[in-house]
Amino acid sequence: MTQEFATRLIGEIPYARTLGIRVDFSEDTLLLILPYQKSNIGNPTLPALHGGAIGGFMEVCALAELRRRSPKLPFSKPIGVNIDYLRRGNPVETYARADIFKEGSRVANVRVRAWQDNEDEPIAALSGHFLLPKTL
């Protein structure tokens, strides 16, 4: 995996481009970046990011992490995800990183954390099961 591949991977997904997602691959870690853009706002009076945009961002993060394990295969498919909203999403840059908790032959369990200023103070977390592409 290279930065170039990671950028192309995210660039392939129209929905990720709509959210404005960028990617940073360094030290063998995939970091997803959601730059602040007004179109990702859910509450204009606060203002705060849309919970759905944060959830979608974390889902893309999980799919990208799974894809980098088997770059030649298509994307996995989400089966079920659980999203916890922990803090308000301020109108600033947001980051996400995924951990594969368990990878079986058909299904993977993935945990994603999203944060802004401080990785130890996540704004949201996702855990979910994904159907791996080799079974599709």
Partner 1 sequence: MSRFIQKLWEIAPTLVNGTPHASELGMKFVAIDKGIATLSLPYNSALIGDPRSRVIAGGAVTTLLDQACGLAAISGFDGLAQLATLSLRIDYQRSAEPGEMIIAEAECYKTTRHVAFIRAIAHDGDPDDPVATAQSTFILTGPVHKMPNLGTQEEGGTE
Site of interaction with partner 1 (CB under 8 A):
12-19, 38-44, 48-53, 55-57, 59-60, 63, 74-75, 77-85, 88
Residue 120, classed as helix, strand or coil, is: coil
CB of 121 to partner 1, least distance (A): 17
Nearest approach in angstroms of CB 6 to partner 1 is 16
Q: Which is nearer to partner 1, 28 or 60 (CB)?
A: 60
Q: Are 116 and 96 in contact (CB under 8 A)?
A: no
Q: With residue 129 as reference, give the H or E element that holds it.
A: strand 124-131
CB closer to partner 1, 30 vs 48: 48
State the nearest-atom distance from the C-beta of 67 to partner 1, in Å: 11
Torsion (CA) 118, 27, 55, 67 in degrees, nearest 10: -170
As a whole number of angstroms, the distance between CA 46 and CA 48 comes to 6
**What's the alpha-carbon Rg for the chain, to the nearest Å?**
14
Tell me which residue has tokens 């951990």: 99
Q: Which C-beta is closer to partner 1: that of 31 or that of 81?
A: 81
CB of 60 to partner 1, least distance (A): 6
Q: What token pair was written down for 81?
A: 């995800």
